[in-house]
Amino acid sequence: MKDNSFLPKNVGIWIRVSTEDQARGDSPEVHETRARAYAKQRGWTVREVYDLAGTSGKAVMSNSEAKRMMVDIKRGHITGLVFSKLARLSRNARELQDFGDFFAACKADLISLSESIDTTTAGGRMFFNLLGVFAQWEREEISDRVNSSFKTRASMGKLLNNQCPYGYKVVDAKLVLHPEEAPIRRQAYELFLIHRRKHAVARMLNEKGYRTRKNRLWAWAQIKTMLADPSAKGVHFFNRGKRVGSWKKSPKPESEWGRIECDPIVSENLWNQVNKILEEQGKAWKKPGRLPTQTFSRLAWCSCGGKMYARHDSPKYLCRKCNNKLPITDLEGIFHEQLKGFLSDPKRLTADINQAKKNLSEKEQLLANHQQAVQKVRDEIRKMRELFLAGEITPQGHGEFYKPAEERLNQLVAELPRLQADIDVLKVNQLSAEDIMAEASSLYDRWPKLPIDDRRKIAEAVCEKIVIGKDDVDITLSCIPSSEELCKNQTLLSARCK
């Protein structure tokens, strides 16, 4: 039988080396050199090189390089494909079979250097299919070993692949606060607590000139994921899911999760408030009711478990389940007295002063990061301009970069005065414990004269829940507002009361 392997032939070289192989020194250049040397000995002409370095062997037919190769086979541009090993073509038995059928239909050859496979013969086709089964078995074995390694590392509290959530960075295998990202993530929680809209938070962060870790605009889905991540309150969970298909993930049992402690970005109370809102928003949509018109409309509950409402034309809070009632004026009076003792608590106020100092430090760090971001964008624009003037980039390339960079620079610069103003307010209003007590007393005196919207904001800031029984009222106070909020509220209230 005549050997056709030394006849003139146009071939392509297929290169697919996993990341693990490259780490061991098995580079794509080695595979290409080997294949070119073999083709030269056979008298073949290498027309194309298909480079899939770093691509998983689980599914390669959808890869752009694989599609290009198949088009070249169909149009007769090449009539053979040379690769170093069958597992380099694919580790999926089904795909290997499909490749074999495709090459047979196009009357093209598959040449595996390690296994010496020639698919033009019946024996070669059988050997090709048999090795395909072993390649898939090898892939599944590797997957099992990797998953087992992940499980072991997770149980030991060791991070996987040094991946970390936004707001943190990995230093010596530990999560530490990222000086640039952490203030932005903190702002996301604060903004969501005020506006309760993920789209609004994304829009406001983008308008301030902030970008994601990949320097892209924020989207509502990223905001939702970031807000729900418990790492912000000091605990990071990982190895919680495994990839299924190209992008979906399926959850792993909780026993396989990894857990690591880290410095919190926000308080646990703030994280809980934000995620409670997210949980409510995730429930079945209901037609929104009217906005509350009374001070405690969102806080009042009956001892029977029912919600208590006060209609705009009614003088009483009413539970529709048990018909329990309480006059609005009575609840206002009870809360007014509770407010005085709450705001005058020295321990709470001293803690608030310490928090004010922390807020000021964080704001100053945010301003410094913001100024660095402005300078960085300006440097990038200047470099791009120099390359354009030197003729190294086209006007189109310059325009595609310059417009988004200029937009971001304008956003960052516009945000600078507001950040500086926030710091100025905090510095001016660095209050002592006696000053805060005096302000608290002043707020107590002003309470009856305040507009109902202001009273409702203050009540929601300091009160967690009000339970109204037949003979008593239980008011659960949560925490005093931050010094920054208190200063802003006092300025606003002073202006309205004058």
Residue 232, C-beta contacts closer than 8 angstroms, at least 6 positions apart = 165, 167, 185, 189, 226, 264, 265, 266, 271
Token pair of 20 as six digits = 């693990």
Q: Domain 168-282 is classified in which CATH homologous superfamily?
A: Putative Large Serine Recombinase; Chain B, Domain 2 (3.90.1750.20)
| Residue matched to tokens 């010094």 | 483
- At residue 2, the pLDDT reads 42
CB atoms within 10 A of CB 445: 11
Q: Are strands 109-112 and 80-83 parallel, antiparallel or unpaired?
A: parallel
Instruction: Check residue 50 and give its pLDDT.
Output: 93
Residue 346: what pLDDT?
A: 62
Question: In this predicted structure, what is the pLDDT of residue 69?
Answer: 93
The ranges assigned to domains in the chain are 4-152, 168-282, 346-492
Q: 466: which strand partners?
A: 300, 475
What predicted TM-score, i.e. pTM, was given to this entire model?
0.47
pLDDT at residue 298 in the model: 78
**51-54-56 Cα angle (round to 5):** 105
Check residue 407 and give its pLDDT: 85
Q: Which residues of the chain have pLDDT under 50?
A: 1-3, 5, 23, 25, 154, 432-433, 479-498
Under 8 Å between Cβ of 328 and 316: yes
Residues near 439 by beta carbon (within 8 Å), at least 6 away in sequence: 431, 486, 490
The pLDDT of residue 169 is: 87
Q: Are 86 and 58 in contact (CB under 8 A)?
A: no
pLDDT at 92: 72
Q: State phi, psi for 251 to the nearest 5 degrees.
A: -70, 145
DSSP helix/strand/coil, 247: coil
What is the per-residue pLDDT for 488? 41
Closest to 79 measured CA to CA, from 129, 131, 4? 4
Establish whether domains 4-152 and 168-282 are of one fold. Answer: no
Starting at the edge strand found earlier in the chain, the sheet holding 300-302 runs 300-302, 463-468, 473-477
What is the predicted pLDDT for the residue at 131? 54
Give the contacts of 116 (CB within 8 A, at least 6 positions apart). none
235 DSSP 8-state letter: E
Fold of the domain built from segment(s) 4-152:
Rossmann fold (3.40.50)
Res 43: pLDDT: 87
Identify the pLDDT of residue 226.
92
Please tell me the predicted confidence (pLDDT) of residue 7: 60
Tokens representing 440? 């608290």
Residue 262: CA count within 13 A, CB half-sphere: 32
Position 108 scores a pLDDT of 87
